[in-house]
């Protein structure tokens, strides 16, 4: 049975005051959620302790990035083991902003996935095509390549530590969303590719990300191969984020 997950990626936003403001309604509303959704909060690393301290039962916490090494003279970096030691269960790997703005390569992404798994974190591997690639008809080819490259270090028994987030680059922070049908088609292609890689594809959670809002979440989450969402901007608004969590099927 694959897990339904809604993860909030705060990116480089927030403050200690905002943690308190956001986590209070998440806590009170989460208790009333009966759809079995796993809620993951992914704040800037400095606020992980604050989010954990807000002690909302059932909420898991992640970091947005880890180093591709496990320890040593890498000034400014944070290891997967440190994230785990600090109470995190998840890490985003290969977000398009890291690929584009920080020139992260497939090799680096694969190394980070390996570090995440070795540290006991679940890696949320982000994949997605640009608008030019979609218009050129190469979207599935690009995404399949990102999957093959990013997951090359995953051992046979490590697949339960992998979640894939499909985030078309043109839909991130733009207000543009893939149609539910297009998103479903890509998710089915991703599952197919995972199968080819030897993964227990039917058991892995696949999330959709890119301008998910309260008013488009239900249509996306109703699709057969979409197991939840990776939410950016809308995760910074408590009510909107909780509406998205409620939109997971099985909800009241």
Q: Give me the least distance between CB of 139 and ligand PGA, in Å please.
A: 17
Which x/- pattern, by CB under 6 A, does the window 140-179 give for ligand PGA? ---------------------------x----xx------
E-state strands within the chain: 5-9, 38-42, 59-63, 90-93, 122-127, 162-166, 206-209, 228-231
Q: Which residues, 6 or more positions from 141, have their beta carbon under 8 angstroms from its beta carbon?
A: none
CB of 75 to ligand PGA, least distance (A): 27
CB of 210 to ligand PGA, least distance (A): 5
As given in the structure block, the two tokens for residue 67 are 């180093």
The pattern of x and - marking residues 188 through 217 that bind ligand PGA according to CB under 6 A reads ---------------------xxxx-----
Residues in contact with 39: Cβ distance below 8 Å, sequence separation at least 6, in sequence order: 5, 6, 7, 8, 26, 30, 58, 59, 60, 245
State which residue, 84 or 99, has the beta carbon closest to ligand PGA: 99
From 22-30, 59-67, 74-82, 232-240, give the range in contact with ligand PGA by CB under 6 A.
232-240
Distance CA 10, CA 228 (A): 17
Q: Residue 183 Cβ, how far from ligand PGA at the closest point, in Å?
A: 13
Tell the burial category of 156 from Cβ atoms under 10 Å away from its Cβ (0-12, 13-18, 19+): exposed
Using a 10 angstrom Cβ sphere, with 0-12 exposed, 13-18 middle and 19 or more buried, the burial of residue 81 is middle
* Cβ proximity to ligand PGA, 51 vs 230, nearer residue: 230
Note whether 65 binds ligand PGA by CB under 6 A.
no
| Least Cβ distance, residue 212 to ligand PGA (angstroms) | 5
Phi, psi angles (nearest 5°) of residue 244? -65, -40
Contact residues for 131 (Cβ-Cβ < 8 A; gap 6+): 169, 170
Query: Binding to ligand PGA by residue 230, rule CB under 6 A?
Result: yes
Question: Is 95 part of the annotated catalytic residue set?
Answer: yes
- Catalytic residue of the set 97, 129, 140, 167: 167
Please, how many CA atoms are within 13 Å of residue 105, restricted to the half-sphere of its CB? 2
* Residue 167 annotated in active site: yes
Q: Which residue in 62, 161, 228, 232 binds ligand PGA (CB under 6 A)?
A: 232
Nearer to ligand PGA, 228 or 233 (CB): 233
Candidate residues 124, 231, 242, 248; the one interacting with ligand PGA per rule CB under 6 A: 231
- Helices 139-150 and 106-119: crossing angle, nearest 10°? 50
Report the catalytic residues: 95, 167
Q: Which residue ranges make up the site for ligand PGA (CB under 6 A)?
A: 9, 167, 172-173, 209-212, 230-234
């Amino acid at each position: 049975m694959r897990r339904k997950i809604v993860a909030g990626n705060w990116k480089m936003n927030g403050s200690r005051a905002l943690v308190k403001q956001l986590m209070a309604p998440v806590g009170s509303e989460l208790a009333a959620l009966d759809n079995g959704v796993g809620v993951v909060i992914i704040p800037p690393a400095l606020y992980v302790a604050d989010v954990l301290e807000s002690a909302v039962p059932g909420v898991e916490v992640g970091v947005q990035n880890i180093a591709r090494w496990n320890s040593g003279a890498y000034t400014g970096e944070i290891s997967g083991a440190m994230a785990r030691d600090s109470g995190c269960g998840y890490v985003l790997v290969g977000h398009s902003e890291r690929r584009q703005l920080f020139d992260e390569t497939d090799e680096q992404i694969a190394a980070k996935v390996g570090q995440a798994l070795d540290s006991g974190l679940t890696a949320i591997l982000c994949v997605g095509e640009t608008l030019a690639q979609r218009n050129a008809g190469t979207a599935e080819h690009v995404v399949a390549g990102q999957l093959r490259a990013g997951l090359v270090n995953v051992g046979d028994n490590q697949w339960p530590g992998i979640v894939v987030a499909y985030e078309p680059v043109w839909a991130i922070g733009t207000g543009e969303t893939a149609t539910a049908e297009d998103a479903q088609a890509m998710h089915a292609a991703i599952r197919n590719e995972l199968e080819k890689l030897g993964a227990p594809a039917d058991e892995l959670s696949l999330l959709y990300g890119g301008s998910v809002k309260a008013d488009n979440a239900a249509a996306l989450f109703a699709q057969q191969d979409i197991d939840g969402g990776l939410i950016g901007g809308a995760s910074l608004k408590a009510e909107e984020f909780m509406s998205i969590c409620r939109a997971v099927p099985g909800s009241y």
